[in-house]
Amino acid sequence: MPDKRTVLLVATDSQSLDLLGERLKCEGFDTLRAACLEEVDRHLKNIHSISIAVIDLSGFPEEIWDRCQQLRDARIPFVLISQKRSPAMQKQSITHGATALLIKPVSVEGILDSIRTSLRE
């Protein structure tokens, strides 16, 4: 695993990517950003450069779970963000190996806490 400082940010909302990316930069993290499955796939080609991923599931098709499985297979922790908590979402998150499931609205501090906790595991 890399130096535990590179975060892959995945979200269809570019404003969210920018906001979280700037905050992570201030906290000493490097970021990679992906707003669609094709961009996620491009970053996953160099998967071992990723320390952790934060994935906002909103707006992504079911195929996003395949990318989560790739992260799990490579033993890269990832945090999921969802619009609602449901038993099905919790089961999917656990099945695919998420280290945390955050429910919107979620604060940047909450995301940072989950990143830090996941990197310590």
111, part of any domain: yes
Domain count, the chain: 1
pLDDT band at 112 (very low <50, low <70, confident <90, very high): very high
10, part of any domain: yes
For 39-66, give the secondary structure using H, E and C.
HHHHHHCCHHHCCEEEEECCCCCCCHHH
90, part of any domain: yes
23, part of any domain: yes
- Residue 43 burial (CB count, 10 A): 19
Helix axes 64-73, 37-44, angle to 10 degrees: 20
Please give the angle made by the CA atoms of 40, 45 and 51, to the nearest 5 degrees. 75
pLDDT band at 1 (very low <50, low <70, confident <90, very high): very low
Residue with token string 């609602």: 84
Give the pTM.
0.93
Interatomic CA distance for residues 67 and 81, integer angstroms: 15
Q: What are phi and psi of 36, to 5 degrees?
A: -150, 165
62, part of any domain: yes
24, part of any domain: yes
DSSP state at residue 31: E
- Residue 65 burial (CB count, 10 A): 16
Q: Which domain holds residue 12?
A: 6-120
pLDDT band at 121 (very low <50, low <70, confident <90, very high): low
* DSSP β-bridge partners for residue 11: none
Give tens-digit pLDDT for 15-72: 989 999 999 999 999 999 999 999 999 999 999 999 999 999 999 999 999 999 999 9
1, part of any domain: no
CATH number at residue 30: 3.40.50.2300
**83, 58 Cβ separation under 8 angstroms:** yes
74, part of any domain: yes
